């Protein structure tokens, strides 16, 4: 037997890049008007450049002088001088209240006026206008916008060297890296600038440029290859995107030649201080470090008998003088578990490691928590860590790259999932949301969970673990990037919507994900470029709105997770991890399936949640169906809240999921000739693969459980 | 989740190579005597060189003149002139009867006389004397030796370039290749010469220098990189080892620039003729080509609507003028099978493809047949192809490299298996053996199945498909090599015994594998180098004699096979291939397990055997226990011929297998200080890994079947 069956990577072709949500047509409604821009600075220059480019195409003009005469749109910094009369009074009233990234849009007069205290706010306001399109010029009451979360960051798991197993981009499904190629900087500044534009237009304001698994070459980005990082920072600065760097905790040893990386060692502290100062000498607005420590083989403080607070505070100390932050990942667990040992529960690990450290982290430490307790499965409960560290800045980490959600071969719009996540209330319906936690809101009673000031989420309750008198900013939202050198940026053209929705939901977590998708459709498929705009819009909604749940239907059932092929994580492998050391099991036998994580009889993981979720998850009757097998081991004839049995639910959802993919494919076919041909062809090909793969999931899952349970499908559909 | 759990390769260290079965001490009994060597030629020079080296160390002398005076040992070509009186009369009698590789040893007089018609025979006779050691000088009747099989060939699955998935050596477990490194010739002539000595000393007379999967660089060994092959041939020629080359069927296209590789196209024929002539210009004793065609992605005649006889005869035609042969592999099957389709049976494939072609192959085509119908599993029935092609030269292919038998981390002495295979009688106990078939013996009634003339295996019967009036030589025995750049040659020092046994059983298939192991122990652990020779010998027998069956006990049960991890094929993965396209399934469900290959209700594979095996395998009662699940799907409570149920047999053998590995480890420990320290340390470490892995097998297999069957172990041992 020779070569294994492998999934082919997306070819990295040298063709024109797709404009994503910033095609020229999206700027048409602005471009036909004459606009006035007041203010100075690089980001204001970006605004001017965008408007000038649009005007050049569509006939409008861009003025820089307040007395320019007849203008149809004003974008102004509140502190600009002079300001035109139409803006001056309002600017005087609101100056200093709009926030570091916020803006105000006044459409109550005859000329729309956009005001911001900062150039970044003006840039975000510009893209708000782009989203509004023609309606930017409709009469409308004054509105204020500011991001709910201060930091909306994408982590690129990009390697500089091609890793022998993981390739150029770990868990990347969109060709090579946009930053690196074969050990060197890719050196395509246009591509990076275009990427910066796309990020600014959806609200992302930070990225890491390298993988959290920091290999030998990548470690050196911190020191002798810092120039490569600075070059990226220079390209992204005009789009208000700050650059962060993943570093290895062992840097003082592997780069500095010290005998130790002990966080309490003075030489180590001095080494980090010096290294960090050199970074800021080169990149004054450098964002900070991201660290995966003591996890899956990465070095960390445990080597020296220290804990993660010691480790994180070491780097925080080095960054503090410059305003930088350290994102310290909470993804710490034993990846050499014995599958025979049913008492060890990987789901417990992050809480067990980090909750006891609450209060010990410096203020510029952000503990970055994966959204679920395991690892980016398509369905997991929300991580209990998020409710367990009131005195710590927490960021929520999601995977935009579709490692476990179809690898950008499957349509899987993740907006609804993130919306559900960000709106989850760990302390019950009246309590703070995950978005509030990521915003740092609620601890002092001042809700800041929303995108529009004054309409914040419910204020925190006294039992939610407010951090005493300390007021801490939030940690924000972090996503693992899904972007690569593919001409469509994301491999699957429709996966662009996930990148877009990530940024938009980070800015305003309460946005309806369908509305976000609608924005994306409007920008990406401008009516002027499609054959039947209404049909295109409706069809894309039909295909994408529920696609995450469709994916869930044909993959691992009822929250049990991880029934994937080892290594590449693509396609079904029901027992793929069942006897592995990775701590991801389903325990299916001839009688039943699922993981008992109750306090009463299981691993006790449910006890990591506050009430009411601790009780709800503990109860086999009250546990939500979609998470039943995450929390309980039940017999195949167990009756779900839906009224179906577990085994019949498995059969039904898997047959239904495949039918839904077939319907997706049919619907997409009706867009032939109505949308860009290259997009249509790429998506058509991928839908074939999605259907093939969904059938494979259906048949393997159904066959596996039929062979184990012996229970026939009540509808006698084919099971093998 | 990051890097998968991988098995570490054996490091390729630059330390002294282990002498294997040719340590200087093995030559001591010859080296202390004065010897006379009569004859000329390069191979005779090798004999002289060996004896001279031994004599230099031990005090003996080597004479080249028949009248040299007092000598204690004579080695002479029957045609040498002059011969000493002690040899002359006998030489005159037997000259021309000893065969191309045979020899005669006369120990009936006061000086042992070794005679051979050819230099190769003299060389093999020399190593026979080495094996005899001191007893070479005991009185003994005259004995004649000649190999049962003309060709004893090792196929090296070595790549010139490091393959991105398969590495330098596909399925290699002994470090890098001895021939190639990183795209170039390794250029270590001493290593290759030492290898040639080892091969000659166990009887191997042919090798391929590159993988049967011929990638781009490797294809060019046939043409512009032929010099690399010639260099290897030059180094191995003094040891009577001929070099063969794996070629791609697409060579006329990929190397020759032709638009086709159609075997019936005149341009293609001309291209192969020219290429082959150029090979023989450079390597006059070149052995021939090995081809894997239309298999696992390799090109072949099917592309052009031709069959395998057309394909093989094309190359045979090019080779025929020079006496070369083409080894054409019968390993052709659909590797994109649908696991849902239970009617397609990979076991049938080789027979279905090749049996109808019997009689259509040219005389210098050898169809190379894997020993079993699937793929080198630790237990398979003998391939029915071997009994189905009486008018075709057939070679039997076994895997010396331990892809599926522990990957040279586990002690697994394969001699007993090959012995069983070679002694198998497809037409029943009185019929020809597999060894006879590989020898080409029996078809004309002149048995040649044994290593000593006059004691051949049972003559062929008229119902065994003799090839009419045509007398064809056999195809020989082929093994996939287990050798690499590891200082112990084979990774696991005890795996050397497999290489040794392969050669010895190819020479004489009727040798008792325990006796072969005993030879190997005597040579590899010479009494003068060990602390307690008797204990060492006894202990090695205890550890190794039954180690193949021990391996079988703790791995896939009852012949079902292929319960391995995909890709690397190491360690248990019960469902690893169950839903794959590879055609290797066990069909376990809650009620039973096994593959129904009967004519009555299954795939009909049993019908490919002649009687009595067709009937025996067809019958669930008569089928040998060790192959039951290969041929039948039975309930877990099915009672075996042994009296145990299937499920209890699974539990019992798996617990027993691990206990036997523990015993191996204990036994090896008592050799500490008695054998070479480096050997002891390496084996000790590997036994730890073997025990760990055996436990993993035991627990995963037992747990898998307990979870499916629900049947408890009657002895209540721990199952997880």
Interval B230-266: pLDDT, tens? 999 999 999 999 999 999 999 999 999 999 999 999 9
- A464 band by pLDDT with thresholds 50, 70 and 90: very low
Count chain A–chain B contacts defined by CB atoms under 8 A.
100
- B406-420 pLDDT per residue, tens: 999 999 999 999 999
- B347-375 pLDDT per residue, tens: 999 999 999 999 999 999 999 999 999 99
DSSP A355: G
Domains and CATH numbers, chain B: 24-145 (3.30.379.10), 152-512 (3.20.20.80), 552-595+633-709 (3.90.1330.10)
The predicted pLDDT at position B472 comes to 82
Q: Which residues of A touch B340 (CB under 8 A)?
A: 699, 703, 720
User: Sign of the C-alpha dihedral, residues B623, B625, B631, B635?
Assistant: positive
- B470 band by pLDDT with thresholds 50, 70 and 90: low
- B167-219 pLDDT per residue, tens: 999 999 999 999 999 999 999 999 999 999 999 999 999 999 999 999 999 99
- B581-637 pLDDT per residue, tens: 999 999 999 999 999 999 999 999 999 999 999 999 999 999 999 999 999 999 999
Q: Closest approach of chain A CAs to the CA of B336, in angstroms?
A: 9
Overall size of chain B counted in residues: 720
The predicted pLDDT at position A608 comes to 98
Q: Closest approach of chain A CAs to the CA of B540, in angstroms?
A: 32
- B32-81 pLDDT per residue, tens: 999 999 999 999 999 999 999 999 999 999 999 888 778 999 999 999 99
Chain B contact residues (CB < 8 Å to A):
1-6, 165-166, 170, 213, 296-297, 335, 339-340, 375, 566-567, 569, 572-575, 579-582, 588-591, 696, 699-700, 703-704, 706-710, 720
Instruction: Tell me which residue in B579, B589, B710 faces A700 most closely, judged by beta carbons.
Output: B579
**Contact between A579 and B296 using a beta-carbon 8 Å cutoff:** no
- A442 band by pLDDT with thresholds 50, 70 and 90: low
Give the angle B315-B318-B322 at the CA atoms, nearest 5°: 125
Examine the pLDDT at B2 and tell me if it is beyond 90: no
Q: Which residues of A touch B706 (CB under 8 A)?
A: 589
Lowest mean pLDDT among A475-479, A571-575, B8-12: B8-12
The predicted pLDDT at position B443 comes to 55
The predicted pLDDT at position A470 comes to 57
The strand pair at B73-77 and B35-38 is best described as parallel
The residues of B carrying an active-site annotation are: 296, 375, 403
The predicted pLDDT at position B459 comes to 31
The predicted pLDDT at position A40 comes to 94
Q: Are A110 and A100 in contact (CB under 8 A)?
A: no
Contacts of B217 (CB under 8 A, 6+ apart): B159, B160, B161, B183, B225
The predicted pLDDT at position B10 comes to 43
**Contact between A707 and B589 using a beta-carbon 8 Å cutoff:** yes
Q: Closest approach of chain B CAs to the CA of A524, in angstroms?
A: 33
Examine the pLDDT at A2 and tell me if it is beyond 50: no
User: Sign of the C-alpha dihedral, residues A354, A356, A358, A361?
Assistant: negative
Q: Minimal CA–CA distance to B248: which of B295, B184, B281?
A: B295
The residues of A carrying an active-site annotation are: 296, 375, 403
Instruction: Tell me which residue in A5, A582, A591 faces B581 most closely, judged by beta carbons.
Output: A5
Q: Rounded CA gap, B443 and B471, in Å?
A: 7
Q: Which residues of B touch A2 (CB under 8 A)?
A: 166, 170, 213, 296-297
User: Sign of the C-alpha dihedral, residues B440, B441, B446, B448?
Assistant: positive
Q: At what angle do helices B308-319 and B266-282 cross, to 10 degrees?
A: 40
- B15 band by pLDDT with thresholds 50, 70 and 90: low
Q: Rounded CA gap, B324 and B315, in Å?
A: 10
Average pLDDT, chain B: 93
- A234-288 pLDDT per residue, tens: 999 999 999 999 999 999 999 999 999 999 999 999 999 999 999 999 999 999 9
Q: Closest approach of chain B CAs to the CA of A589, in angstroms?
A: 4
Average pLDDT, chain A: 93
Q: What percent of chain B has a predicted confidence (pLDDT) above 70?
A: 94
Nearest chain A residue to B564 by CA: give it. Answer: A576
Give the angle A460-A466-A381 at the CA atoms, nearest 5°: 70
Q: Minimal CA–CA distance to B289: which of B253, B332, B255, B242?
A: B242
Contacts of B265 (CB under 8 A, 6+ apart): B258, B304
Q: What percent of chain A has a predicted confidence (pLDDT) above 70?
A: 94
The predicted pLDDT at position A3 comes to 38
Q: Mean pLDDT over residues A213-237, rounded?
A: 98
Q: Which residues of B touch A708 (CB under 8 A)?
A: 589-590, 707-708
**Contact between A165 and B6 using a beta-carbon 8 Å cutoff:** yes
Lowest mean pLDDT among A3-17, A137-151, A308-322, A568-582: A3-17
The tokens 């009756």 sit on which residue? A639
The predicted pLDDT at position A242 comes to 98
Q: Which residues of A touch B582 (CB under 8 A)?
A: 1, 5
Q: Mean pLDDT over residues A498-526, rounded?
A: 98
Q: Which residues of A touch B572 (CB under 8 A)?
A: 579
Q: Closest approach of chain A CAs to the CA of B486, in angstroms?
A: 22
Q: Which residues of A92-109 are buried (b: 16+ CB within 10 A; e: fewer)?
A: eebeeebbebbbbbbbee
The predicted pLDDT at position A67 comes to 80
- B94-119 pLDDT per residue, tens: 999 999 999 999 999 999 999 999 99
Nearest chain B residue to A588 by CA: give it. Answer: B707
Q: Which residues of A touch B297 (CB under 8 A)?
A: 2-3
Q: Are A326 and A316 in contact (CB under 8 A)?
A: yes
- B313-332 pLDDT per residue, tens: 999 999 999 999 999 999 99
Instruction: Tell me which residue in B3, B340, B580 faces A297 most closely, judged by beta carbons.
Output: B3
Examine the pLDDT at B645 and tell me if it is beyond 70: yes
Examine the pLDDT at B447 and tell me if it is beyond 60: no
Q: Minimal CA–CA distance to A697: which of A430, A437, A412, A450?
A: A412
Q: Which residues of B touch A707 (CB under 8 A)?
A: 588-590, 708
**Contact between A575 and B574 using a beta-carbon 8 Å cutoff:** yes
Q: Mean pLDDT over residues A600-621, rounded?
A: 98
Site from B397, B579, B698 to mutate, A interface, most A CB atoms within 10 angstroms = B579
The predicted pLDDT at position A444 comes to 42
**Contact between B590 and A170 using a beta-carbon 8 Å cutoff:** no
Q: Rounded CA gap, A505 and A666, in Å?
A: 30
Is residue B103 within a helix (H) or strand (E), and if so which, with residue range?
strand B103-107
Q: Is the ipTM of this complex over 0.90?
A: no
Q: Which residues of B583-610 are buried (b: 16+ CB within 10 A; e: fewer)?
A: bbbbbbbbebbbbbbbeeebbbbbebbb
The predicted pLDDT at position A351 comes to 98
Is residue A30 within a helix (H) or strand (E), and if so which, with residue range?
helix A28-31
Nearest chain A residue to B587 by CA: give it. Answer: A707
**Contact between B582 and A297 using a beta-carbon 8 Å cutoff:** no
DSSP A105: E
- A313 band by pLDDT with thresholds 50, 70 and 90: very high
Q: Closest approach of chain B CAs to the CA of A164, in angstroms?
A: 8
Instruction: Tell me which residue in B297, B573, B707 faces A590 most closely, judged by beta carbons.
Output: B707
Q: Mean pLDDT over residues A302-321, rounded?
A: 97
- B547-566 pLDDT per residue, tens: 999 999 999 999 999 999 99
Q: Rounded CA gap, B407 and B536, in Å?
A: 24
Q: Closest approach of chain B CAs to the CA of A214, in angstroms?
A: 11
Q: Which residues of B touch A572 (CB under 8 A)?
A: 579
**Contact between B340 and A572 using a beta-carbon 8 Å cutoff:** no
The predicted pLDDT at position B441 comes to 74
């Amino acid at each position: 037997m020779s070569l294994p069956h492998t999934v082919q990577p997306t070819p990295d072709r040298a063709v024109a890049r797709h404009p994503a949500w910033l095609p020229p047509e999206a700027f048409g409604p602005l471009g036909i008007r004459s606009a006035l821009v007041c203010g100075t600075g690089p980001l204001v220059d970006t605004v001017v450049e965008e408007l000038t480019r649009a005007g050049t195409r569509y006939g409008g003009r861009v003025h820089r002088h307040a007395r320019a005469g007849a203008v149809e749109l004003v974008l102004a910094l509140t502190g600009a001088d002079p300001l035109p009369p139409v803006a001056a009074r309002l600017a005087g009233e609101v100056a200093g209240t709009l926030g570091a990234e916020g803006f105000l849009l006044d459409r109550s007069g005859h000329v729309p006026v956009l005001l911001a205290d900062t150039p970044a706010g003006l840039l975000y306001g510009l893209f708000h206008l782009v989203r509004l399109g023609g309606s930017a010029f409709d009469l409308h009451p004054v509105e204020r916008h500011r991001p709910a979360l201060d930091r909306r960051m994408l982590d690129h798991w990009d390697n500089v060297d091609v890793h022998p197993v993981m390739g150029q981009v770990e868990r990347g499904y969109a060709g090579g890296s946009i930053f690196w190629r074969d050990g060197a900087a890719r050196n395509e500044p246009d591509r990076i600038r275009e990427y910066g534009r796309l990020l600014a237009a959806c609200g992302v304001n930070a990225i890491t440029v390298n993988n959290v698994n920091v290999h030998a070459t990548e470690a050196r980005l911190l020191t002798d290859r810092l120039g490569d990082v600075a070059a990226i920072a220079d390209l992204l600065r005009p789009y208000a995107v700050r650059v962060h760097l993943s570093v290895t905790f062992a840097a003082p040893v592997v780069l500095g030649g010290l005998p130790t990386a002990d966080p309490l060692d003075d030489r180590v502290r001095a080494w980090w201080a010096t290294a960090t100062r050199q970074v800021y000498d080169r990149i004054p607005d450098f964002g900070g470090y991201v660290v995966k420590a003591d996890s899956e083989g990465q070095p960390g403080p445990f080597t020296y008998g220290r804990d993660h607070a010691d480790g994180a505070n070491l780097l925080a100390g080095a960054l503090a003088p410059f305003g930088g932050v350290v994102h310290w990942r909470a993804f710490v667990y034993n990846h050499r578990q014995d599958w025979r040992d049913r008492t060890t529960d990987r789901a417990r690990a992050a809480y067990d490691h980090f909750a006891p450290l609450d209060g010990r982290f410096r203020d510029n430490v952000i503990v970055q928590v994966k959204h679920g307790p395991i690892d980016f499965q398509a369905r997991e409960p929300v991580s209990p860590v998020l409710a367990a560290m009131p005195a710590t800045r927490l960021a929520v980490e999601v995977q935009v790259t579709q490692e476990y959600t179809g690898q950008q071969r499957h349509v899987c719009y993740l907006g609804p999932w993130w919306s559900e996540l960000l709106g989850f209330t760990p302390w019950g319906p009246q309590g703070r949301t995950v978005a509030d936690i990521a915003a740092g809101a609620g601890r002092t009673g001042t809700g800041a969970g929303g995108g529009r000031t004054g309409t914040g989420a419910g204020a925190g309750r006294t039992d939610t673990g407010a951090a005493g008198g300390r007021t801490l900013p939030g940690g924000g939202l972090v996503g693992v990037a899904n972007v690569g050198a593919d001409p469509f940026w994301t491999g699957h053209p429709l996966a662009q919507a996930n990148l877009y929705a990530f940024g938009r939901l980070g800015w305003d977590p309460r946005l309806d994900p369908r509305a976000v998708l609608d924005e994306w459709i409007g920008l990406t498929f401008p009516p002027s470029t499609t054959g039947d705009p209404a049909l295109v819009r409706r069809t894309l909604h039909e295909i994408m709105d529920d696609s995450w749940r469709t994916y869930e239907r044909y993959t691992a059932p009822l929250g049990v997770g991880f029934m994937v092929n080892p290594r590449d994580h693509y396609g079904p492998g029901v027992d793929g991890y069942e006897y592995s050391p990775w701590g991801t099991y389903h325990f299916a036998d001839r009688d039943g399936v699922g993981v008992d994580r109750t306090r009463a009889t299981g691993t006790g993981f449910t006890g990591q949640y506050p009430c009411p979720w601790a009780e709800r998850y503990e109860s086999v009757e009250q546990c939500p169906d979609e998470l039943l097998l995450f929390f309980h081991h039940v017999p195949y004839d167990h009756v779900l809240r839906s009224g179906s049995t577990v085994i019949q639910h498995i059969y039904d959802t898997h047959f239904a999921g495949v039918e839904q993919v077939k319907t997706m494919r049919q619907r997409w076919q009706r867009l032939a000739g109505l949308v860009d041909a290259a997009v249509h062809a790429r998506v058509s090909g991928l839908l074939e693969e999605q259907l093939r793969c969904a059938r494979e999931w259906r048949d393997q899952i159904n066959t596996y459980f039929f062979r184990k349970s012996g229970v026939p499908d009540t509808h006698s559909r084919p099971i093998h």
